[in-house]
Amino acid sequence: MDPTAEWTPLEIKIGSVWKEVLNIGALARDHNFIEMGGSSLQAVKIAFKCQRLLGRSVTAAQVMRAGTVAALARALDDGAVSGCEAA
């Protein structure tokens, strides 16, 4: 993944939720959720907040499987992660 690539609007929304839940100031599109110390409880919180913000189904499993903001955004755009269909 190109670290200099600009964030998409969806990535910006997802990233704002990750920063809030993980209580971090800086976040790159390709920072790994688990490597940043993300827990299953935080994945649930991220999924819930993303679901409310985006108005579509997002699960903790999707957050954990995707692993990064960019991958989650791509999966939600593509419907590539099981259960990513719009609500």
Q: HSE of 59 in the Cβ direction (CA atoms, 13 Å)? A: 9
CB 59 within 8 A of CB 47: yes
Question: What is the spatial distance between Cα 73 and Cα 7, in angstroms, rounded to a whole number?
Answer: 10
- Domain ranges (residues) in the chain: 9-78
According to CATH, the topology of domain 9-78 is 1.10.1200
Question: What is the spatial distance between Cα 87 and Cα 38, in angstroms, rounded to a whole number?
Answer: 26
**pLDDT tens digits along 40-85:** 999 999 999 999 999 999 999 999 999 999 999 999 988 744 443 4
Question: Which pTM value belongs to this model?
Answer: 0.83
